[in-house]
Amino acid sequence: MQYISTRGGMQPQPFSETLLEGLAPDGGLAVPERMPHVDSETLERWRALTYPQLAAEVLGLFATDIPREDLARMTADAYAAFPDAVVPLHSIGDGITLVGLSEGPTLAFKDMAMQFLGQVLEYVLEKNDGVLNILGATSGDTGSAAEHALRGKDRVSIFMLSPQGRMSTFQRAQMYSLDDANVHNIAVEGVFDDCQNLVKHLAGDIDFKRAQRLGAVNSINLARITAQVVYYFWAWLRITDAVEPEYRTGFEVSFTVPSGNFGNILSGFFAKQMGVPIRRLVLAANENNVLDEFFRTGIYRPRSAADTHATSSPSMDISKASNLERFIHTLVDRDPARVAAAWAELDENGFFDFSAEQPRFESEFGIVSGTSTHADRVAAIRSVYETSGEVIDPHTADGVHVARSFVEPDVPMLVLETAKPQKFAETITEAIGIDLEYSDDLRRMLDAPQHVVEMPDDEAALRAYIETHAQH
């Protein structure tokens, strides 16, 4: 399996090289030359596997340059700290089942991919006798998941940008309480999109990128996307365990995915292309609903930092979705010239227009969308608690609210849970009037000294900081 750029300017390269590159040299994103396919017989054979075993099988279709036994060891190590089920499923009534993705060390779905990424990065760097300086941006959960996966690793340093004052108290504590020498937290004046722009500018400077040995852990890193594909397979297998064997082939389910940067739902799009019988992929946006507008109209118009709302589902406070480019690449029949032209139009006019293609979004790809507001998510948290006893976080609540509009008879609706509610205690208290309990370890984390460098939205200042602190 080889990987190419969405914009056509990268020679095909194997998974391991793509892993270290992050953004492609031409500014595009790495995509498989062809999508692997899994037939129904293979799906049935995989039904008996544990989650780490399934991860090795699915990732083995993408990382063909890594021996399967090495992948199996890495996936076993990646999920060793999770409960045995790794990804439990819970029905909450009304035809909706939650896919539990927050059992990892930082209590968020980002652990599912990041724990594997930490393993495979270390593996590749040891093979190459290299070092890597990770530059990333976070709206809340990516940063803590990446830092906890990479902390203390000899060959990796991580520089994580976060927007000042835009994350929950818990999210800040998870990141800023770390004091490992290879972890550098940088709080940028601005919003997530400003942080992401800084990452893209530095990653797009090939000379600087190579001199400082920069890599990525944001979902522009294809390893993140492929690792997330696994739980779509897992969820389909578990929901169909109760289906009579003769009816399992082609048994369709739908997934609703709270989405900001389009990475998590893109993994579902990959899974659907690979052969998982997915009827619909429902994108759930918060008030920063640029992606909902795109999938309803075909016009993609990112908002400025000033027009990006600070909401009670802060990890989705994103107005420029990096991974949308990978979907557009498929939409234009993998024509890199049309992808490059769309982003040139975006740079020039502030939007691009695929309204002529919009009917295909649902008819061909099964993607639909909706928006949730603060009132909607509070109501969803309350109703789920009252009917099932489950306490869900605000982002999952966005998913539940939007999913309710797309539930169909005899088609299970799976909502991807994104985080434990403890990360967003104020909204939970507002919704259901209870104070969530914290373990002693979490209390110590919340009370620990915080280590963070504050910085203006200044590319030169960031360059200087990285030059001073990077590994070489």
Catalytic (active site) residue 420? no
Round to whole Å and give the CA distance between 282 and 285.
10
Of 163, 187, 192, nearest in space to 450 by CA: 187
Residues 6+ apart with CB under 8 A from 25: 5, 9, 10, 206
Terminal alpha carbon distance of the chain = 30
Q: What is the residue-wise DSSP string for 101-149?
A: ---STTSBTHHHHHHHHHHHHHHHHHHHT--EEEEEE-SSHHHHHHHHH
| Cα–Cα distance measured from residue 301 to residue 354, given in angstroms and rounded to the nearest whole number | 11
State the Rg of the chain over Cα: 21
Distance CA 180, CA 14 (A): 32
Q: Which of 110, 209, 272, 420 is catalytic?
A: 110
- Length of the chain equals 472
Residues facing residue 339 across a β-bridge? none
Residue 106: count of CB within 10 angstroms of its CB: 26
Amino acid at 358: Q
CB neighbour list of residue 441: distance below 8 Å, 6 or more residues apart: none
Contact assessment for residue 316 and residue 285, using Cβ atoms and an 8 Å cutoff: yes
Tokens representing residue 173 in the block: 């504590």
CB 199 within 8 A of CB 224: no
CA 469 to mean position of chain CA atoms: 27
Separation of alpha carbons 305 and 372, rounded Å = 20
**Structure-block tokens of residue 278:** 């997915």
Question: Contact, 51 vs 100, CB < 8 A?
Answer: no
Cα dihedral sign, 241-242-247-250: negative
Max distance between CA atoms of the chain, in angstroms, equals 62
Phi, psi of 299 (to 5 degrees): -105, 125
**Which positions are annotated as active-site residues?**
110
